[in-house]
Structure 1
Amino acid sequence: MNVFDKAITAIFPQKGLKRAAARQRLQIMNSGYSNYGASHTKKSLLGWLHAGGSAREDIQENLSTLRQRSRDLYMGVPLATGAIKTCRTNVVGSGLKLKSQIDYEALGITEAEARKLETKIEREFALWADTPACDLERLDNFFELQQLAFLNWLMSGDVIVTLPVTKRVNMPYDLRVNLIEADRLSNPYGTINPKIVGGVEINQAGEVVAYHISKHHPLSYENSETAWTRVEAYGENTGRRNVLHVMNRERIGQRRGVPFLAPVIEALKQLGRYTDAELVAAVVSGMFTIFIEKDGVSEEVPFGEIIPEALQVDRADENSLELAPGAIIDLNEGEKAHDMNPGRPNTAFDGFVTSICRQIGAALEIPYELLVKNFHASYSASRGALLEAWKMFRMYRTWLANDFCQPIFEEWLAEAVAKGRISAPGFLADPIKRKAYCGAEWNGPAQGLLNPVHEVTAAEKRVNNGFSTRDREAMEMNGSDFYRNAAQLKREEEIMKEVKGNASGAEINTNKE
């Protein structure tokens, strides 16, 4: 307490007490984050316009704009297209393949019996998955549907999947996969309902109970019926999943997904504009144009107006003079042409774009080298970049397998057991046995090898020391199956022995002769 406060306290004790209390509160307010990120007095933070809300205000209210801008970037900005396709190709590739993994101990069967049943399950699943019959629209097989679902999740933020049943000729299975674009999941007639957020209906406890799907795409100009179908999330009697909502949440209470490019939309758009501007400047810089200046007014048609349309840059704009390679532009009296040298190519272009790409790659978890497919660094740096990228790819692959592939596989297996095509005692009665039968791994494209000799040697050491298995290493290296590899090698060795035996016998007969 300073001298002034002491004097006030001596004359007016109550006011002095209030001053001391206020000073104490001020010290508390200026502690912790209030001195740093939450400061309202620092000049560096005074211009920060911030506002926040729940997941509904921050995400749901902005989703339509985010979706449309993300799709526009995918269709028009090469870097955005590359980022999405890089993620799609490495996560899904040609499709995640089923590898049945039955828990034979829980079922009380031998390992040999389990292997035999796994082979039968994979064969029956291929009968359904390898043909377009699994698609309700009858266009894609199951692996192409994975690509389509994942690509749409990246662009739109989420994908809705229904599992209707439809009979088809020469197909023993009736399960179908129906992919629905995110825009069609919406509130009926745009109504505001606290229990329906973006078409996702919840109950009093916050549990998702139904989905409202529009028959008409809200962005389509097609004159079709405007109506919504309410689909319950789970069957009332069977508990069957009627709808798969493929999304990745980032906020508690969030009901709809956010597009993959959402955090970098502005950076990608501005970079696209800058790239277009540099490209146009480089094209203009490459045009050699002559301007003719006259002393008198000419009645003749200017040379510039007879540039062939095929060479004109903007044929629709009648108010602009067109430049073309080797063009001659006629000017009227008093008009002068001033050349403007854009100084292209811009030597700073590559460095600036590289810097922005690094920030975009960091936000998307795709290293710069992989984002732009430019591996000019050392082996260690390139391998480090790939390892970091594959952490993200594996995460998304696991998510896609858990939310899309596995639930569909379980529905298919239930139908296969119910129809007697696969014998699985206790599948329909005991949840533990059902889970044991449904065990599976979903394998996708391998990471690839930068230095095959070193990496194969490392894999061999991991197996010999018990850190990994041959099956896992085969999957990681080239996406193959160890058991199939071993069986194929066995057949090849038998054939080679037979060939060598025949060759030796022929040689002996020749020597005898």
Structure 2
Amino acid sequence: MNSGYSHHGASRTKKSLLGWMFGGGSPDEDILDNLDTLRQRSRDLYMGGAALATGALKTARTNVVGTGLRLKPTLDADFLRLTEEEGRELKRTIEREFALWADSTDCDATRMNNFYELQQLALLSQLMSGDCFGLLPMVPRLHSVYDLRVRIVEADRCCDPPDKKGRDIKGGVECGPDGDVIAYWIRNSHPLGESAGRPQWVRVEAEGKESGRCNVVHLLETERPEQRRGVPILAPVIESLKQLGRYTEAELTAAVVSGFFTVFIKSNTPENAMGEGIPGYQQVDLEDESSLELGSGSVLSLQPNESIETANPGRPNTAFDGFVTAVLRQVGAALEIPYELLVKHFTASYSASRAALLEAWKMFRMRRAWMVSGFCQPIYEEWFAEAVAKGRIDAPGFFDDPIIRKAYTKAEWHGPSAGQIDPLKEANAAKVRVDEGFSTRERETAELTGGDFEMNHRQRVREEKMRRDDGLMGGANSANEILEREQDEE
């Protein structure tokens, strides 16, 4: 008699499912119709509606981007027929030129952030609003070698124009007959702000028709096929976080009230003024006749039919911590951030704490990969093309063949490391992986410290040469011998 899901999750006869009010639609109906409300509620939680929402977004931003994802060119020297020395020299030239552009605020269209700060801004905006846009205009500036600029645009400004007759535009994203994104419609002012004058829309093509140049980078996380706009990461837990914030505020208020010795006078004759004719009472606020206080060391007498009752909210609530912990475990599961990392509270064993961090870093690495493919790498390729066009980087055949262009712009992006709970164990494990050939020194350096193995190697060569020249290679004994020899000479 089994009819698939009709007797289980899709049952319309079971009492446990009769009251389930459900409804669904296409990605446009489920997402676009509710996106404005989701964005504003998500921002309200971040700006103070719930402290844990702020912490969750900042935790994700700090671990995914941190101080910035740094460029590590990994061009295909064999395919480009470059010698090992030529390949190393070209990599150093690329790093030097890119730093000239990325370390300066000239890379920002608003001249407020450098490239690494723009990464933080773009990711935080994407997490909070669901998606974020980066326009790539060419704006010449005095004393600036490169003309490429990055202009971060908040999600609200990409919206439908009033007249979209004959165009497939939804959520400000225009698609072609095959469903491919061909253009974005950007409003000249924020729809939630006070705009001066009549709003206008600018159609920005996703790619240049003749050059194929990337004009817009769209940073979002897609959850459904044919989805055009992103959803805030807090969307599934907005209600839980808001209710938790209200509960926390109520508990805090109750705890503050319990910190005062509050007395209520219960009277069966309300026609008599409170405290009238009672020695020991003092009026606190002259403008408020009902404001009274107890005098120091006073012995009070009450009117007939009056009694004293004290306020006792019963705070702090012993069940508060357990309840909040249970809710936060569910919130952390939805956000892919373990409870320990969400509240920055590590009290479990080494193995449990490490397991929580490893689970969190699966999500952080995934979002870092999205950040690289959707933001860093496209912008880097546009910068590289300008550097080659201006003769700052020598890359023969770059504009002739896409495969050659790919070989030149191949790169890795390294960000902050996961950190170590027990540095000695982590270092020994990294050493074993390198010795057994499971990993490389370059990768382990990036994973453990976020550093650059090649730069570390060159620095170590210089340091060891200095130690050898000064006779310190033997350690403390050699140092003592040098000290004794200098004393003998004196």
Q: Are the equivalent residues in 2 in contact too, given 1:289–1:324 (CA < 8 A)?
A: no
1:407 matches 2:378:
yes
Unaligned runs of 5+ in 1: 1-26, 310-317
Partner residue in 1 for 2:420: 449
Separation in 2 of the partners of 1:308 and 1:394? 63
Percent of paired sites with the same residue: 58
State the SS of the aligned residue for 1:453.
helix
How far off is 1:396 after superposition? 0.3
Separation in 2 of the partners of 1:341 and 1:60? 49
Which deviates more, 385-394 or 221-230?
Answer: 221-230
> What is the letter of the counterpart of residue 411 of structure 2?
A
Q: Deviations over 1:346-393 (max 9, x none)?
A: 000000000000000000000000000010000000000000000000
1:213 paired residue among 175, 186, 196 = 186
Q: Deviations over 1:41-62 (max 9, x none)?
A: 1111111111110101111110
Q: Are the equivalent residues in 2 in contact too, given 1:135–1:176 (CA < 8 A)?
A: yes
How far off is 1:193 after superposition? 7.5
When the two structures are aligned, how many residues end up with a matched partner?
476
State the SS of the aligned residue for 1:234.
coil
Q: Deviations over 1:141-183 (max 9, x none)?
A: 0000000000000100000111011111221100000000000
1:48 matches 2:20:
yes
Match runs of 1:90-105 below 5 Å: 90-105=63-78
Partner residue in 1 for 2:336: 365
Match runs of 1:197-236 below 5 Å: 197-236=170-209
Separation in 2 of the partners of 1:231 and 1:334? 79
Partner residue in 2 for 1:297: 272
Q: Are the equivalent residues in 1 in contact too, given 2:109–2:150 (CA < 8 A)?
A: yes
State the SS of the aligned residue for 2:185.
strand
TM-score by length of 2: 0.90
| Cα gap change, 1:114 to 1:307, in 2 (>3 Å) | farther
1:113 matches 2:86:
yes
How far off is 1:431 after superposition? 0.7
Separation in 2 of the partners of 1:323 and 1:44? 56
> What is the letter of the counterpart of residue 448 of structure 1?
G
Separation in 1 of the partners of 2:218 and 2:19? 40
| Cα gap change, 1:506 to 1:280, in 2 (>3 Å) | closer
> What is the letter of the counterpart of residue 187 of structure 1?
D
Q: Are the equivalent residues in 1 in contact too, given 2:262–2:311 (CA < 8 A)?
A: no
Q: Are the equivalent residues in 2 in contact too, given 1:165–1:175 (CA < 8 A)?
A: yes
How far off is 1:223 after superposition? 3.2
How far off is 1:334 after superposition? 7.5
Partner residue in 2 for 1:126: 99
1:424 paired residue among 392, 395, 398 = 395
How well do the aligned residues superpose, as a CA RMSD in angstroms?
3.0
2:323 paired residue among 352, 355, 360 = 352
Separation in 2 of the partners of 1:485 and 1:442? 17
Separation in 1 of the partners of 2:303 and 2:120? 60
1:469 paired residue among 440, 462, 465 = 440
1:188 matches 2:161:
yes
Partner residue in 1 for 2:464: 493
State the SS of the aligned residue for 1:231.
strand
State the SS of the aligned residue for 1:342.
coil
Q: Are the equivalent residues in 2 in contact too, given 1:102–1:436 (CA < 8 A)?
A: yes
TM-score by length of 1: 0.86
Partner residue in 2 for 1:314: none
1:342 matches 2:317:
no
| Cα gap change, 1:169 to 1:325, in 2 (>3 Å) | farther
How far off is 1:297 after superposition? 3.5
Partner residue in 2 for 1:35: 7
How far off is 1:449 after superposition? 0.8
How far off is 1:454 after superposition? 1.2
| Cα gap change, 1:307 to 1:369, in 2 (>3 Å) | farther
How far off is 1:35 after superposition? 1.7
Partner residue in 2 for 1:375: 346
Partner residue in 1 for 2:454: 483
Q: Are the equivalent residues in 2 in contact too, given 1:92–1:444 (CA < 8 A)?
A: yes
> What is the letter of the counterpart of residue 281 of structure 1?
A
Separation in 2 of the partners of 1:192 and 1:257? 24
Match runs of 1:261-340 below 5 Å: 261-291=234-264, 297-298=272-273, 306-307=284-285, 338-340=309-311
| Cα gap change, 1:438 to 1:299, in 2 (>3 Å) | closer
> What is the letter of the counterpart of residue 265 of structure 1?
I
Q: Deviations over 1:82-121 (max 9, x none)?
A: 1000000000000000001111111111222111101110
Partner residue in 2 for 1:59: 31
Q: Are the equivalent residues in 2 in contact too, given 1:289–1:323 (CA < 8 A)?
A: no
Separation in 1 of the partners of 2:112 and 2:120? 13
Separation in 1 of the partners of 2:113 and 2:361? 27
How far off is 1:252 after superposition? 0.6
Partner residue in 2 for 1:24: none
State the SS of the aligned residue for 1:127.
helix
| Cα gap change, 1:394 to 1:289, in 2 (>3 Å) | same
Partner residue in 1 for 2:215: 242
Partner residue in 1 for 2:408: 437
2:430 paired residue among 455, 459, 462 = 459
Separation in 2 of the partners of 1:449 and 1:383? 8
Q: Are the equivalent residues in 2 in contact too, given 1:160–1:244 (CA < 8 A)?
A: yes
How far off is 1:494 after superposition? 0.9
Unaligned runs of 5+ in 2: 473-477
Q: Are the equivalent residues in 2 in contact too, given 1:287–1:324 (CA < 8 A)?
A: no
| Cα gap change, 1:481 to 1:305, in 2 (>3 Å) | farther
How far off is 1:498 after superposition? 2.0
| Cα gap change, 1:433 to 1:326, in 2 (>3 Å) | farther
| Cα gap change, 1:293 to 1:378, in 2 (>3 Å) | closer
How far off is 1:267 after superposition? 0.5
| Cα gap change, 1:73 to 1:299, in 2 (>3 Å) | closer
How far off is 1:338 after superposition? 4.8
Q: Are the equivalent residues in 2 in contact too, given 1:187–1:197 (CA < 8 A)?
A: yes
Separation in 2 of the partners of 1:242 and 1:125? 20
Separation in 2 of the partners of 1:251 and 1:280? 43
Separation in 2 of the partners of 1:96 and 1:225? 39
Separation in 1 of the partners of 2:110 and 2:134? 13
